[in-house]
Amino acid sequence: VWLGGGQSSSRAHDKLLANTPPLPFEHVDTESRQHDPHTRAPHVPQARLRLLNRFDHVVRILLSRSELWDTLSGEEHGLLCELSAPHGPLLTWLEVKLHEHGPLPWEVLREALRGHASEDFATHLMTDPLISDHPGNVQDLGVELHDLLCRMLIERIKEQETQAIEAINTDPSAL
């Protein structure tokens, strides 16, 4: 169970969360849908423009398909459990549950979350009617999950590189 982390990881997570570009599914063009009678998609409220960030999406995939946790590397486990609240604590809890019981469906995880500090956050991610469900199969979601994690790892490496450059600028012996 990853219990590590640190202030720099938490700050990096918060910075990434604020600067994370939208994922392709995060922007819905509601204007063209309202005026084009040939569009089959239903009208989507304006509030749907930015529902999920990268971290929310990873949590949602893992809660809906917990068997994917075992496909992650140790580095990916560490990255996820280091995230600041509400993501990191929820994923640390999930890791413990999966270690104890193996993969569990969302319904079982939902019951196990009762009374936990992350219950409201997890329930919102999994039940919000404005957030689309994951219709894909496990393999497709696994590819999507690994793509998101690769992006997160790249962002973490960039943040570490920036910190190293700043340290060298103030203390050349830091190299």
Tokens found for residue 4: 């590590």
CB 23 within 8 A of CB 98: no
Q: pLDDT per residue over 17-37, tens digit each?
A: 555 544 444 433 434 434 444
Between these two residues, 43 and 4, which has the higher pLDDT value?
Answer: 4
Q: Is the dihedral of CA 17, 70, 146, 123 positive or negative?
A: negative
d(CA 25, CA 131): 10
Q: What single letter denotes the amino acid at residue 140?
A: D
Q: pLDDT per residue over 121-159, tens digit each?
A: 999 999 877 665 555 688 889 999 999 999 999 999 999
CB 69 within 8 A of CB 103: yes
d(CA 116, CA 118): 5
d(CA 88, CA 67): 18
